[in-house]
Amino acid sequence: MATLRGLECLVSVLDWGSVTAAAERLHMSQPALSHQLAALEREIGTPVVERLPRGVRPTAAGRAIAGDARAALEAAERVIATGRAVAKGTAGQLRIACAESMTAGLLAPMLRTWRRRHPDVQLSLTELTSADALADTVAAGQADIAVGPRPSRWDGYLVVLGQEEIVAVTTRDDPLAAHDAVTFGQLAHRPVVHYHHDNGLAGWLDEVAASRGVTLAAATRTRQAATAAQLAAAGLGAALVPTTALPAPYHGAARRLDPPLARDVVALLATVPADPLVREFAAGVRRHGIPVPGPIAAQLDGRPAG
């Protein structure tokens, strides 16, 4: 197979019209350049240049392959340029998976900053409802990084990004809204907007409730934490919702749990983050932190929303 060096020698000889000038241009000796041309001619099976008393000129074969030779060299230059840009974190593709409840509140604000700093990086996003589904997606090589709750099983690299609080949400005139905090006992025997079983929150909240001697009575179920918050505000029942899923403004009431309940937010990576894009993205999410909308924070702290 023809080497890039051999094609480079051919193009340089054609551009400069002599082996001597081409060798100087390429910082090679004339014998070395002639050797590259001879190897190319053996591969093709015919001469590519004709030696003249002064200089050289392309043969029919040389003219025929000159365009493709130039295209191959340009493509090789693009390969190197792209590789260097990716190594610097200024180009490439990043495949992100995220828990659905965290996309709007956690990831979207960070992505706005990321896009300004990395306009040439292509991003793709997959939303999933389960932490274990996120882990499976990264393990299968379908995502470079996943952001969400800590999965029940994970053998790869994990970065703890912070914690998100789980709060009780109701209508503003619900008796629970008169309390500074809500216990699981207060949620017993009353309708709850719960989660579909394929959402990891469902099983986890049931386990927490059971550990406190309570069974949550699901009046209705949804796959989305943001939808649960809106259904609770509409009066279908109380809901237990991560703060990252609460919109601002929120027309319901949000109260902390007693005792407080939180879960880790993590970044999952298949390997130690040697890839600069993955490493920088994980660091960016960690710097951004786990935001709580101002009006929600005011509610939780018992302050008037400003």
The arithmetic mean of pLDDT across residues 55-64, rounded, is: 90
Domain borders along the chain are 4-88, 92-306
pLDDT of 306 over the 60 cut: no
Residue 297 confidence (pLDDT) above 80: no
- As a whole number of angstroms, the distance between CA 112 and CA 31 comes to 56
Please give the structure tokens belonging to residue 56. Answer: 């050289």
Torsion of the alpha carbons at 75, 78, 82 and 87, rounded to the nearest 10: 100
What per-residue confidence (pLDDT) applies to 108? 85
- Write phi, then psi, for 220 (nearest 5 degrees): -155, 165
Q: Which tens digit of pLDDT belongs to each residue from 203-243? A: 999 999 999 999 999 999 998 888 999 999 999 999 999 98
More confident residue, 133 or 83: 133
Diameter of the chain measured on Cα atoms: 102
Query: Residue 109 above 90 pLDDT?
Result: no
pLDDT band at residue 80 under the 50/70/90 scheme: confident
Tell me which of 3.40.50.2300, 1.20.930.40, 1.10.10.10, 1.10.580.10 is the CATH number of domain 4-88. Answer: 1.10.10.10
Band (129; pLDDT cuts 50, 70, 90): confident
pLDDT of residue 234: 95
Q: Select the CATH number that applies to the domain covering 92-306 from these four: 3.40.50.2020, 3.40.50.720, 3.40.50.300, 3.40.190.290.
A: 3.40.190.290
Instruction: Give pLDDT, residue 136.
Output: 94
Render pLDDT for 139-193 as a digit per residue (tens, 0 to 9).
999 999 999 999 988 988 898 988 899 999 999 999 999 999 999 999 998 999 9
Q: Between these two residues, 98 and 283, which has the higher pLDDT value? A: 98
Helix, strand, or coil here: 218? strand
Whole-angstrom Cα distance, residue 49 to residue 56? 6
Unique residue bearing structure tokens 């590259």: 36
